[in-house]
A and B are shown apart, each in its own frame.
Chain A
Amino acid sequence: KQEVTQIPAALSVPEGENLVLNCSFTDSAIYNLQWFRQDPGKGLTSLLLIQSSQREQTSGRLNASLDKSSGRSTLYIAASQPGDSATYLCAVRRHNDMRFGAGTRLTVKP
């Protein structure tokens, strides 16, 4: 059974700092990996999707990498802002379901 782990569970940084969130998974037979953002009381917003054949994806200040063979992904956030404060979830997909990690709760202090 696919297990997805995210480290750290919570992270607090000052505004402007660059940071890395980590995601690991146990079964490398995946279609893709997605990073989501979740604000309190809200649904999930897709940030980046990396296909299994890709190594990384970039969107603005966000960069996600995927090392399928080692079962790892990282989300890099450059020049963090208070508006980046949220919970970040990674999810791996195989067939029709996605397996999520428990998330990293990020707080960016002004």
Chain B
Amino acid sequence: GAGVSQTPSNKVTEKGKYVELRCDPISGHTALYWYRQSLGQGPEFLIYFQGTGAADDSGLPNDRFFAVRPEGSVSTLKIQRTERGDSAVYLCASSLQAGGPTDTQYFGPGTRLTVL
């Protein structure tokens, strides 16, 4: 595809429910990143994949959050037992290969998650 796509664009759920957010990176990009953006703030790093493996998950706030990328392309961010504080825009980005001073991340439009 032409760019990074994310589905759904909006998700409304109730407190305590489980949600999955999907990211389709740019074809051929080996690195994939998840960020969370709260209102009025910049994106906050959650997790980074190089290929199929999570190379850095230090930004995940707690064990309710989990992400997978089983075939090294599409990634799913999973949130268990959602809380109202999880409400935010979840952004996905991909890059050709991670690391290096010229590596540019390309962002998707995000999924707006609202937990009631």
Contacts and interface: CB of A to CB of B under 8 A. Distances in A.
Interface residues of A, number: 27
Q: How large is the interface on B (under 10, 10 to 19, 20 to 34, 35 or more residues)?
A: 20 to 34
Interface stretch (B13-21, B42-50, B70-78): B42-50
A36 B106 CA distance: 10
Given A93-B103, A100-B44, 13 more contacts: A31-B103, A32-B101, A36-B107, A41-B109, A43-B107, A44-B91, A52-B101, A96-B33, A96-B56, A98-B45, A98-B105, A99-B45, A100-B43
B99 A43 contact: no
Interface in A15-32: 31-32
Interface string A31-59: 11010100001111110010111000000
A89 B56 CA distance: 23
Contacts of B42: 4, 89, 91, 100-103
Interface in A63-110: 89, 91, 93, 95-103
B55 to A, nearest CB: 6
Contacts of A41: 109, 112
Contacts of B100: 31
A55 to B, nearest CB: 14
Contacts of A53: 101
A97 B99 CA distance: 9
A89 B58 CA distance: 22
A51 B98 CA distance: 15
A4 B41 CA distance: 11
Contacts of B28: none
Contacts of B103: 31-32, 93
